A = this chain, B = another copy of it.
Amino acid sequence: MVLINGNSCLVCNRSSDIFIALKESEVEKIDCNRVSLRYKPGEVIFKQGAPVNFFACVTSGLVKLYIEHQNNHNLIIGLTRPVNYIFDPGSFFDNHHHLTAVACEETTTCLIDAKLMKELIRTNSDFAGEFIKKISLQSVRLFDRISGYTQKHVYGRVADTLLYLYPGIYGENPFNLTLTRQDLADMSGMTKESVIRVMKKFKDDEIIRLEGNNLEILDQEKLEIISKKG
């Protein structure tokens, strides 16, 4: 990873939306206590179990957040696209990460000293409110996704994952899939072989078009039906 501290937070058009709750003097404080870094695909931003030293704000690229499991079977609980802070609930709970964050593409993040963020939360209740909203949003999304893990069959789960990818993560429709098949499996709670088989079925049924890593959702409506039916 490479240090690339650029513009001040005050003029950065990549600043997070939770900053609206901050006064200019507070943003300046953040500017003085941040580091901007560049990560290559596969590089770890923070690791489950490690103490929380900073808050990371993704300013470009794509980051996967997952729970590590013994036998290489991780569970990806979400992806973070710019511009967004990575909200690991462990930051507030026991000061240890409960998630691992890894760059999936060439990614840049701003790291901000955790003590400063916590102080701002303690002193600025509007900012605290924004934080509560963000954490809640993440929980709600998690609810939506996990209810599928146990209840739905593989087709429904892959459909869920594809609908999460577009339009949520990749904004355009054919898009270049920067996640591996294993990542898709870890997002859906299944094996990569099953992902491949389901995707092949979707391709045969002309629900998607897939060539290598170029993926196009052809029939979003049908995907939604499959997602609902399980």
Contact = CB atoms under 8 A, between A and B. Distances in A.
Given A67-B147, A69-B147, A139-B139, A126 B132 contact: no
Interface of A: 67, 69-70, 73, 75, 77, 89-94, 98-99, 121-126, 128-129, 131-133, 135-140, 142-143, 146-147, 149-151, 189-190, 228
A32 B93 CA distance: 31
Assembly of this chain: how many copies? 2
B132 A92 contact: yes
B131 A132 contact: yes
A113 B123 CA distance: 25
A196 to B, nearest CB: 18
Contacts of A151: 69, 73, 75, 189
Task: Name the residue among A77, A99, A143, A228 with the largest chain B CB count within 10 angstroms.
Answer: A143
B137 A93 contact: yes
Contact of A129 (B67, B121, B140, B147): B121
Contacts of A143: 67, 77, 89, 98-99
Task: Name the residue among A67, A149, A150, A151 with the largest chain B CB count within 10 angstroms.
Answer: A150
A122 B126 contact: yes
A129 B118 CA distance: 9
22 contacts: A67-B146, A69-B151, A70-B228, A89-B135, A89-B139, A89-B143, A90-B140, A92-B133, A93-B133, A93-B137, A93-B139, A93-B140, A121-B128, A121-B132, A122-B125, A128-B129, A132-B132, A132-B135, A135-B135, A139-B142, A142-B142, A150-B189
A166 B139 CA distance: 25
A121 B125 contact: yes
A136 to B, nearest CB: 4
The 4 closest A-B pairs by CB, nearest first: A150-B189, A128-B128, A89-B136, A89-B139
